[in-house]
Amino acid sequence: MDKLARVMFLLLCHVTSITKQLVFYMSADKIDEMISALDDPLYNQPAAWQRALLAATARSAGRLLRAYSGTAVVTCTLWIIFPILYYAQGLPVEFPFWTNLDHSKPTFFVILLMYSYYVTTLVGIANTTMDAFMGTVLYQCKTQLRILRMNLENLIERATTVVKENSDEIFDKVLDRLFLECLEHYRQISETNRRLQDIFGTSILVQFGIGGWILCMAAYKMIGSDRMVEAVYAMEWLHAPLRFKRSLVLLMERAKRPLRPAAGLIIPLSLNTFVTILRSSYTFYAVLRQTK
């Protein structure tokens, strides 16, 4: 199971990357339309405070991309450190992928190590870059909603200012015009969100499911209480003193309590949790599809 977990970690990272790449390839035109819509004047209003919010959003998106991709590179670097340490100590090294090369030889070992680092880093950067893109679009929608909310809060004041600056304007008409602009702004934000859901809804569902599986498999690698009970029972306890046997019973009873890590000390990472994540992910996906 430990070997299976290592292989599945790598395989599922490739599956999520390929899934999202297919979405980007097959929906390239829709993605271009969604990005082009962000150039609309209502998305780029001229007020200084509005432009400051948009600039802050762009900077935050850049930091997210760099930090997320950097984490992937660091993870892949750590991925190859342990094989190097094992090889330097003369211990057997197993790569989580099949090859017909004899990596016990230094030349082939270096080749496979570099190949592993290149592939995993490429997949990691691909995953994080595409995830950061989706997160940036969502962040843009959040910023636009904040701008829209502030425009609505100041709607009367803005209409009054326009009338004061231009005596030919009629207050009621100016108010209606500004209100219609807010409605159109909200419609465009909703349309961007709908496009994001239509394009990436399926890949997000796959990401949720695989992410939950990876977390639960990581938890599995930490759970070994049942083996502790077996190990205690397997010792030569028959000839041990009675006091020592009682201590063994206490240890076995304590080991029956599973070492199960939890998210936020609330949600245990287990097979049942993984099934629950799958059900919740599909329910969330179905609700979004019905309300688009």
Task: Give the tens place of pLDDT for each residue, 138-166.
Answer: 899 889 998 998 888 888 888 888 888 88
Cα three-residue angle 230-231-236, rounded to 5 degrees: 110
The answer on pLDDT for 55 being more than 90 is: yes
Round to whole Å and give the CA distance between 25 and 86: 40
Query: Using an 8 Å Cβ cutoff, are 53 and 146 in contact?
Result: yes
For residue 60, what pLDDT is reported? Answer: 92
pLDDT band with cut points at 50, 70 and 90 for residue 7: confident
pLDDT band with cut points at 50, 70 and 90 for residue 274: low
Two tokens, residue 177? 């015009």
The answer for residues whose C-beta is within 8 angstroms of residue 68's C-beta and 6 or more apart is 128, 131, 132
The answer for residues whose C-beta is within 8 angstroms of residue 221's C-beta and 6 or more apart is 2, 5
Round to whole Å and give the CA distance between 291 and 111: 51
Specify the higher pLDDT residue, 260 or 185: 185
Round to whole Å and give the CA distance between 211 and 201: 15
Q: Which tens digits make up the pLDDT trace of 84-139?
A: 988 888 888 888 888 888 888 888 889 989 998 998 899 989 989 998 998 899 89
For residue 62, what pLDDT is reported? Answer: 92
For residue 167, what pLDDT is reported? Answer: 81
Least confident of 55-69, 84-98, 233-247: 233-247
The answer on pLDDT for 51 being more than 90 is: yes
Two tokens, residue 276? 């629950």
What is the average per-residue pLDDT within 264-286? 63
Q: Which tens digits make up the pLDDT trace of 200-220?
A: 877 777 777 776 666 666 555
Cα three-residue angle 16-18-23, rounded to 5 degrees: 95
The answer for residues whose C-beta is within 8 angstroms of residue 232's C-beta and 6 or more apart is 248, 251, 252, 255
For residue 219, what pLDDT is reported? Answer: 57
The answer on pLDDT for 280 being more than 80 is: no
pTM for the complete prediction? 0.69
Query: How much is the mean pLDDT over the chain?
Result: 81
Nearest to 256 by CA among 232, 272, 238, 280: 232
Round to whole Å and give the CA distance between 261 and 113: 32
pLDDT band with cut points at 50, 70 and 90 for residue 66: very high
For residue 268, what pLDDT is reported? Answer: 61
For residue 266, what pLDDT is reported? Answer: 58
For residue 242, what pLDDT is reported? Answer: 86
Query: Using an 8 Å Cβ cutoff, are 22 and 199 in contact?
Result: no
The answer for residues whose C-beta is within 8 angstroms of residue 114's C-beta and 6 or more apart is none
Nearest to 288 by CA among 188, 196, 183: 196
